[in-house]
Structure 1
Amino acid sequence: MNKKAKNGILLALLACALAGGETAFADQVYELNPVTVTAQRSQSSDLKTPSAVDVLTHSDIQKTGATSVQEALKFTTGIIAHAQGPRNISQGTMTNKVVIRGVEKGTLVLVDGVPINQAGRYNLEDIPVESIEKIEVVRGGGAVLYGSEANGGVINIITKGERPNLVRAGFGNYGIQNYALSAQAGKLGFTATYDHTGKIDHVSSPEGGRPQGMYFNIRRGEHANFNARYDFNDKLFISHSYGRNSDHYLYRWDGRPYSSTNSKTHKTIVYPAANAGAPYKNELHSTEENLTTLHYDDGNLKAEIFYNRRDQKSNNNNAGTYPYMGKKYNYNEKYYDSSSYLDETMGIDVSNRWHFSKGSFMLGYDFQREMEDATVSDKMAMGKLTKGTFHHYTRNMHSFYGQLAYDFTEATRANLNFRETWTEADAAGNKYDKFTPEFILMHDLDKNTMIYGKVGKSFMMPTFTQLYGGRNIRGAADLKPSSGTHYELGWKKNVGKNAWRAALYHYKIDDSQEAKWITEKDGTYSIHYANENIRNTGIELEWTRNQSDNLSWHAGLTYSHPEKQEKKVSTAGKETSIGWHDYYGKIGGNLGINYISGKLTTAFNISYLGRRIRDTDPYPSMKSQWLSDLNFSYKANESSRFFLNIDNLFNRRDIISTSSSTFYDLGRNFMFGYEYKF
């Protein structure tokens, strides 16, 4: 699309959005000072919360047209959405990620305060938005109050208590289909959703990835979810979520004359043009997940008992196209390999808060038992089955945590947070012991202005796969937990219809667990995890204006300098530090405009990521990324709503990955649908 066409569309959209009319949706007014619960494990207004926090209500999410949490967060300040497939589609264990403040491995995801991270993965693309009341995003290391895996920040997904009675259906190009059913019967509410994406060709570049010289195509992506919640009373509820996704990738040779030379064997492999379009591999990925939680909260005493089970399977049907020989084999002579990971976590978290005249004291205990069954690389080659390896790993992790909140004066307050975490010995005899403190000082300049400063530690445990290996992964049993130090200064101010937020931060994380490609002696590739250091210094600015009941907008701007202290890994597994280099993006921005005219609600969102660096040697720069979305919602009456969502409005071919492989965003796509409340 040329520049004139883009400008014409923008002018038309603005003219449509700024047409006169009266509000019809009082519940869609943007809240300048929402109540948050995540940052300090207790309720407080955003203005009084000493952290960089974004709150997305269900209405906010609906205006983005998102069908999953992964999509909903891509227009949020300080967040980079990293994906290996468009529109919620991922490659098995290589799931999509939310990178907060440049920390790829450091996002802790909670559902109603319960962690869902397993083996470093959290599958946000599988969480539909229909059952969500709001999402709270806390930027900055938050492991002190929430434990491991919060080096970058915390995302808490808070589900609805009472569910609306509704049915919805949406259809679009690329075979897009989306269905939802929600109902409430007494104290029991449930939500069921199904999302489908059809055939998409050339979602990757043949210049990246292992091996080179091929592009990926998507044959199908399916996501189904069921969530039920029973509220015994206003303090106690039980919930269960079931989700299943199934994604089908097809790899084909590009046909351009690529060649590569193995640095160990000096053997050159040529990818001949004769293989253009020939199939290399069919990959089928599926994930099945169950999460059950019993939750109690009376304001001071909080308790959760939970069980999380995630079963991931990958089957690879290789077409047997040998690039260096130019031979092609039909699928009757193919071989296949498969792998599966069954991750289970069960745990309990109990805390209580006691109040006194000058503040409060909170003390809690957390226990998690992590289990993994890994079956790696069953193979069938020319009619002969070679069984893979089976491993069972367990780890028990305990934590005591607490918070002393003290008011020096009505305007000046301080929090001292702490956590002591230890594990029992695992299969390799590893035992970890970490103490992480955090100190926060807050001061109200006036009733509408607050400044704060904080310094704290964070940590992250290595996963079983990183320690003991898996499919194409070489284990590193001596891998250390990462340990970070975080500093932040913040300023928050509400002025009339405006809310201003600013945060200046710096962190350094030692021994981050980073994946490295290494070349084996036979020319194949493997992944080895090594401890590397990362650091970043940045500033975040946000502005929200609630102009009227009809019009609101928000904007965010970030500038940072994420760096990694890279290490080279030889075939023998030896590590050599090679200094610091830039990675990810330095400049980010986002803008959202919401307008209500009569029965029509119009929302436009756009985000920018610039000065991007690919996280692979020789660390080349990448083109800037622009993600955009335009959403129309027409409420015909109290029961009926029509909607039209246009994603990637400018039809850009943006790169949505940052690692060695290049994956592209979906072209301009739309979904038109109807929702009926009964």
Structure 2
Amino acid sequence: MQKNIKLSLTLVAFLSSLHAQDTTKVVLEPLTITSTAIKTDELKSTDSVEIYTQEDIEKAHVQNLYEFLNSQTSVIATPSYGNPFNQKLDMRGFGNNGYENIVITINGRRMNNIDMVPAMLSSIPPSSIEKIEIIKSSGIVVGGDGANAGVINIITKQNNDKVVSFYLGTNGVADSSFYLGHKDEKLYISASGEAQKDSGTRDIDSNGNTNENKFSTGSFNLAYQATEALELSLGATFARTNVIYGGSLTEEQYNSDPSQKGSWSVEQEYDSDVLSAGMKYYINDNLTMNATLNRERKKSNYITYSNVYNYDYKSLSASVDYASDALSIKVGVDGFDGKLSTSGADLTKKNLAGFFMSQFSVDDITLKAGYRYETTAFDNDSGDNESEALHGVELGINKMLSKNSSVFFNYAHSYQSSALDRLFTLSTGTYNGYVKPSQAHNYTLGYNHITKANKFKASIYYIDLKDEIYYYADPSYTNSRNTNIDKSHKYGLDISDKFLISNEFNVVLNYNYVQAIIDEEVENSNDYSGNKLPGVSDHNVKATLGYTPNEATTLVLTQIYRSEAYAANDFNNNFSQKQDPYMTTDISITYAKKSWEVFAKINNIFNQSNGLWIKDDNIYPINFTTTAIAGFTLKY
């Protein structure tokens, strides 16, 4: 098996070393970053940015957005203790808490939760997405609280596509999705939805029951050009999930059969309903006013434990934008009111912010400067409360070296406030003590080179952190608590390259090297100074080889590798078991005509076992067996 994996990587490296001869059929070009504070060409961006288009997502034939992020981008996605619908994300070495340091938005609406539950990206059908923009170590000014590692912006379609897709797979997988859009000069209207189920890959008891899962999601969006100057919009989305996930295994159990039942299993229902309204008023050719209001209600029902959590989120954002050829300015306010109700308590977290972002271009220089002031406030029924005033800063410069290449440098001062369940016991509302917000100084130096045949990006970064938030898991189970790492730092290298070798062959490579070091932290007489942050792999490699023998057929081979790491709770770096390297090799084939396509995909073709190590003999199997899907898509 190891030889097969090495052979795949060798093949990718060999083909990528060939020189392009004829790339007239497909060409690469700089894309526009549309969801940041100020639109800009990615070649002129002052930030380290990854952009993935609707075409990239469609070609990947993924079952959900997590699979796309994990296989095609520098982001790492891991099922949260086995839950595939709420996965933890990481980039730039934040480890097990990485998802709390990434702000995720969909059409400008924050998806982050006020507790430690990851954002539910499974509620977004891949077929509805127009673009994904990943801004690393930046985005705090507009993204706000939690953008220490960066921001992931998701933009859904607004076009005339009519798409229906269906596939079946191993383990009882069945999925159907649709997108129906209409757009003219006055009106845009769309509806999209997806339903998926599977019979599971693990046993949860001795009666043959498995960790079966199912979800459904839908959305409706409307935009109307009421006058020449005024655009109004409305949106509604829903998601319904039911998931059963198994408990951890010992190393002996994992090595013998990762599909066997663990020490426990959980059944959870997780529902979300969102209503949105917005307006855009064009004051003149250069000046625009925007406002968006969102209301989200969510319910998490842990059926196994009879625990129900109800969420009520209200958010408002408004801005005035000025744009000319040389200067762009955005001034705005954000407000967020989040409430979490359980059988024993009501807890709230509120954020209020004002921000300013500017970008100035002259000749071959682009300059960026922005500032954000944000207050956070926490409350429970008993009157226990905490508040904080936080400051975010972004500065950046991009220098064009030629029409195809540029260098950039940016600095960001970012922050992440605590989640509610780090301060309070959710079931009772009991106040457990304050956890200070983490604050980070981010420095990034990068290089871009984009031609018709090659899109190459590289950046090095350094992150200096104070009060990084973590959970101290006391081995004796008596002093465990949420607290802060006094001082820590991270540094690394990101490389991405999309190379059109010829009309038939193309290669995409993502490589990330990271070191995450604890500088100062003593907890319960344990001195972690100089240790590595657990759960962070030094090396993360994703390589994709595409082969198009004719206009209709595409064959894609993808290899993913992450090096070993310390187990998630191993802050002393002395557990006897480490996080194993993660490896998987996937292959897909697509046959497409103008209005239809058929496709098939095999994931983990070498049946590589993978797992998430929390501590010794506490392992959650993930992507540990070969799976396959086959389906078709109709386009009108």
TM-score when scaled to structure 1? 0.79
Q: Distance in 1 between matches of 2:346 and 2:614?
A: 32
Contact 2:404/2:449, CA 8 A, preserved across alignment: yes
SS in 1 for 2:119: coil
SS in 2 for 1:150: coil
Aligned twin of 1:401? 355
Aligned twin of 2:538? 586
- Counterparts in 2 of 1:668 and 1:368: CA distance versus 1, 3 Å: same
Q: Distance in 1 between matches of 2:438 and 2:9?
A: 47
1:425-458 deviation per Cα after TM superposition (whole angstroms, max 9, x unaligned): 6332211101222211222222222111111211
Letter in 2 for 1:3: K
Contact 1:614/1:622, CA 8 A, preserved across alignment: yes
SS in 2 for 1:581: coil
Partner residue of 1:227 out of 201, 206, 219: 219
Partner residue of 1:60 out of 56, 70, 75: 56
Letter in 2 for 1:392: D
1:94-130 deviation per Cα after TM superposition (whole angstroms, max 9, x unaligned): x311101112131111001111111242112332211
SS in 2 for 1:667: coil
Q: Distance in 2 between matches of 1:456 and 1:154?
A: 12
Partner residue of 1:414 out of 367, 383, 407: 367
Q: Larger Rg: 1 or 2?
A: 1
SS in 1 for 2:563: strand
SS in 1 for 2:55: helix
CA displacement at 1:346 relative to structure 2: 0.9
SS in 1 for 2:422: helix
1:598-641 deviation per Cα after TM superposition (whole angstroms, max 9, x unaligned): 31122222222114222323355333212332121112x43332
- Counterparts in 2 of 1:359 and 1:244: CA distance versus 1, 3 Å: same
CA displacement at 1:62 relative to structure 2: 2.1
Question: Within 5 Å, which residues of 2 pair with 1:150-161?
Answer: 150-161=147-158
Contact 1:474/1:528, CA 8 A, preserved across alignment: no
Aligned twin of 1:342? 310
Decide which moves more: 458-467 or 298-307: 298-307
Aligned twin of 2:294? 306
SS in 1 for 2:620: coil
SS in 1 for 2:43: helix
- Counterparts in 2 of 1:279 and 1:5: CA distance versus 1, 3 Å: closer
1:560 has 2:552 as partner: no
- Counterparts in 2 of 1:356 and 1:494: CA distance versus 1, 3 Å: closer
Q: Distance in 1 between matches of 2:7 and 2:44?
A: 41
Q: Distance in 2 between matches of 1:8 and 1:394?
A: 51
Aligned twin of 1:334? none
Q: Distance in 1 between matches of 2:122 and 2:528?
A: 35
Letter in 2 for 1:314: Y
Aligned twin of 1:633? 590
Question: Within 5 Å, which residues of 2 pair with 1:232-271?
Answer: 232-233=224-225, 235-250=231-246
Q: Distance in 2 between matches of 1:2 and 1:610?
A: 14
Contact 1:421/1:434, CA 8 A, preserved across alignment: yes
CA displacement at 1:402 relative to structure 2: 0.5
Q: Distance in 1 between matches of 2:559 and 2:101?
A: 25
Contact 1:83/1:657, CA 8 A, preserved across alignment: no
1:503 has 2:504 as partner: no
Number of equivalences: 592
Aligned twin of 1:118? 113
- Counterparts in 2 of 1:353 and 1:5: CA distance versus 1, 3 Å: closer
Aligned twin of 1:667? 625
SS in 1 for 2:508: strand
Letter in 2 for 1:201: R
CA displacement at 1:226 relative to structure 2: 0.6
Q: Distance in 2 between matches of 1:253 and 1:551?
A: 42
- Counterparts in 2 of 1:250 and 1:102: CA distance versus 1, 3 Å: closer
Contact 1:566/1:581, CA 8 A, preserved across alignment: no
1:467-511 deviation per Cα after TM superposition (whole angstroms, max 9, x unaligned): 112369985331111111111111112245222211110002222
Letter in 2 for 1:244: R
- Counterparts in 2 of 1:492 and 1:113: CA distance versus 1, 3 Å: same
Contact 2:203/2:246, CA 8 A, preserved across alignment: no
Aligned twin of 2:132? 135
1:595 has 2:547 as partner: yes
Q: Distance in 1 between matches of 2:9 and 2:490?
A: 38
Contact 2:44/2:399, CA 8 A, preserved across alignment: no
- Counterparts in 2 of 1:474 and 1:490: CA distance versus 1, 3 Å: farther
1:65-105 deviation per Cα after TM superposition (whole angstroms, max 9, x unaligned): 2121111101245322222467x725xxxx31110111213
- Counterparts in 2 of 1:255 and 1:503: CA distance versus 1, 3 Å: closer
CA RMSD of aligned residues (A): 3.5
Q: Distance in 2 between matches of 1:429 and 1:623?
A: 42
Letter in 2 for 1:290: D
1:361 has 2:358 as partner: no
1:156-208 deviation per Cα after TM superposition (whole angstroms, max 9, x unaligned): 1100113532332211111111111332367421111111121322699xxxx
Contact 1:472/1:525, CA 8 A, preserved across alignment: no
Letter in 1 for 2:496: E
Q: Distance in 1 between matches of 2:493 and 2:204?
A: 33
Aligned twin of 2:605? 649
Partner residue of 2:173 out of 176, 196, 200: 176
Contact 1:300/1:354, CA 8 A, preserved across alignment: yes
Aligned twin of 2:103? 108
1:676 has 2:629 as partner: no
Aligned twin of 1:531? 484
Partner residue of 2:399 out of 434, 443, 446: 443
For structure 2, list consecutive stretches of 5 or more residues without a partner in the other structure.
254-259
Aligned twin of 1:270? none
CA displacement at 1:519 relative to structure 2: 6.4
Q: Distance in 1 between matches of 2:349 and 2:4?
A: 59
For structure 1, list consecutive stretches of 5 or more residues without a partner in the other structure.
205-213, 258-276, 317-336, 376-389
Letter in 1 for 2:202: D
1:97 has 2:65 as partner: no
Letter in 1 for 2:108: G
Contact 1:492/1:500, CA 8 A, preserved across alignment: yes
Aligned twin of 1:326? none
- Counterparts in 2 of 1:546 and 1:519: CA distance versus 1, 3 Å: closer
1:197 has 2:198 as partner: yes
Letter in 2 for 1:432: E
Q: Distance in 2 between matches of 1:83 and 1:100?
A: 15
- Counterparts in 2 of 1:534 and 1:451: CA distance versus 1, 3 Å: same
- Counterparts in 2 of 1:255 and 1:671: CA distance versus 1, 3 Å: closer
